[in-house]
Structure 1
């Protein structure tokens, strides 16, 4: 006995779009959707319930059968059932990952010289945040970062995971609680210049280097923008800036009182000598120093 044809149900637009992105044609998506609602069913029953023309239903069933999305389970007449979504979609995912990895290798062979000389610009918080997490998650050797606590907090889990992998992490923090970002023995957190106070416009930057090979610096303003590069000179410049911030943090930890005595709190005398008028005004507003 054949299955009783149920009332026609239209594939939701979002589900149809997602299935098409996985390689289903519209007719294939409608046929697969119908078989998920009711199996087993003949091509005639599927066509009638799905609204797909019968010739197109036969073609869709044949294509889906070849890919393992549907399975014929009887003869005279042939009836079909839908493959379990968790198995079929997982199969598509594994095939796609394998294809992408193979394609990357083949395409890389067409570009013998890596594009390491370029500096790429990213716009918008989502793009910048996603790139930061991508870099943190791919790190193997080292993460050096200088950032404010509210900015860094968004990426805390990615940093924690890196620390658990044994990645060496150095954080120069604008804030007051180093413990919040201390994720283990491989993670060292320092307050910027021993106090963590944000003063100049450069303090709104998020600066990151990964494995001594990649860098990203982001401006945390009305619209978040970032520059990313594997250019060796640019990466070394970013690492040098972070390294000297680390030096300053260690020096302040030991000689902070003497430094303040010679140069004033927050390196006042040095800063006022080199800051722009805008930076001088910002410094005085934030510290109350003259």
Structure 2
């Protein structure tokens, strides 16, 4: 039992001798240095060095007199102090790394991501780092896997706007259902995902090829701006369709199919990005 406790204390940056001395004082105190050495098994030649180290770190208290005596900081207080110091250290590291990251981020590169799970993991991380707005174009299959992160972002005040393919419903996001979801899936022979966070980074790619899925992540303004604006223009069009569908379909066919055909370069009107 004591050996396990010593190993635990070593995980809190105690040396083995420090752990033994501290436990000896927990069992009985106050003690002189000689008594701590005797009760703990720490060599007498090392005990005062060990006790001085514990005192400097605030893990024990010393009463100086003709013969100094030592008492331990209570175990609960020791743990609380360690926890506070660890949290302070994590906060300092987090701030330092954030500053370093801001100064070192390469906003000129485009990073490739391979594999559907890997793409979704990156989108999840981007969602959780967003502070103002998330724009997302997505099929219901992928939405189900991102819903938890999207809800977390919404709960902290991030505006979530989603262009959806398929039956997606949400109580935390602005949902825009795209026309012809099934037909578009067949036309493109697959599904894609487009993410824009805070107008600062984007992830875009194909997610229906399992391990062969491909996407790009970038903070390059030359891509972030046009991709984000294309999504916003999709939203414009969907708002316009909502209010003026009849007039537009009279000119361009049901669900604007004539426009889709007009701007296709393939005789079968299907998209052949994936070959």
Bin the TM-score by the shorter chain. 0.5 to 0.7
Cα pair 1:208 1:215 within 8 Å, conserved: yes
Aligned to 1:31: 19
Cα RMSD (Å): 4.4
Cα pair 2:6 2:16 within 8 Å, conserved: no
Aligned to 1:98: 92
1:191 equivalent in alignment to 2:177:
yes
Aligned to 1:286: none
Aligned pair in 2 of structure 1 residues 263, 157: CA closer, same or farther (>3 Å)?
Answer: closer
Unaligned runs of at least 5 residues, structure 2: none
The superposition leaves residues 138-158 of structure 1 with CA deviations (integer Å, 9 ceiling, x where unpaired) of 323321101122322333243
Cα pair 2:127 2:153 within 8 Å, conserved: yes
Separation in 1 of the partners of 2:84 and 2:222? Answer: 43
The superposition leaves residues 42-74 of structure 1 with CA deviations (integer Å, 9 ceiling, x where unpaired) of 6437744xxx77767765654454344x22266
1:263 equivalent in alignment to 2:263:
no
Separation in 1 of the partners of 2:21 and 2:155? Answer: 43
Q: Which of 64, 73, 78 is the equivalent residue of 2:70?
A: 78
Secondary structure, counterpart of 1:10 in structure 2: helix
Unaligned runs of at least 5 residues, structure 1: 1-6, 280-290
Aligned to 2:227: 238
Cα pair 2:205 2:216 within 8 Å, conserved: yes
Please state how far the C-alpha of 1:171 moved relative to its aligned partner.
0.3
Cα pair 2:55 2:62 within 8 Å, conserved: no
Secondary structure, counterpart of 1:212 in structure 2: coil
Aligned to 1:4: none
Separation in 2 of the partners of 1:134 and 1:56? Answer: 50
The superposition leaves residues 73-130 of structure 1 with CA deviations (integer Å, 9 ceiling, x where unpaired) of 666442324444244213221233124424654x479x5x852101234566776555
Aligned pair in 2 of structure 1 residues 35, 134: CA closer, same or farther (>3 Å)?
Answer: farther
Q: Which runs of structure 2 are paired with 1:113-262 in the superposition (5 Å)? A: 115-122=106-113, 128-129=119-120, 131-177=122-168, 179=169, 181-183=170-172, 187-193=173-179, 195=181, 198-199=185-186, 203-220=190-207, 221-223=209-211, 226-250=215-239, 252-253=241-242, 254-255=244-245, 258=250, 259-260=253-254
Please state how far the C-alpha of 1:233 moved relative to its aligned partner.
0.8
Secondary structure, counterpart of 1:9 in structure 2: helix
When Rg is computed on C-alpha atoms for both structures, the one with the higher figure is 2
For normalisation by structure 2, the TM-score amounts to 0.67
For normalisation by structure 1, the TM-score amounts to 0.64
Please state how far the C-alpha of 1:203 moved relative to its aligned partner.
4.7
The number of residues matched between the two structures is: 254
Q: Which of 49, 56, 69 is the equivalent residue of 1:66?
A: 56
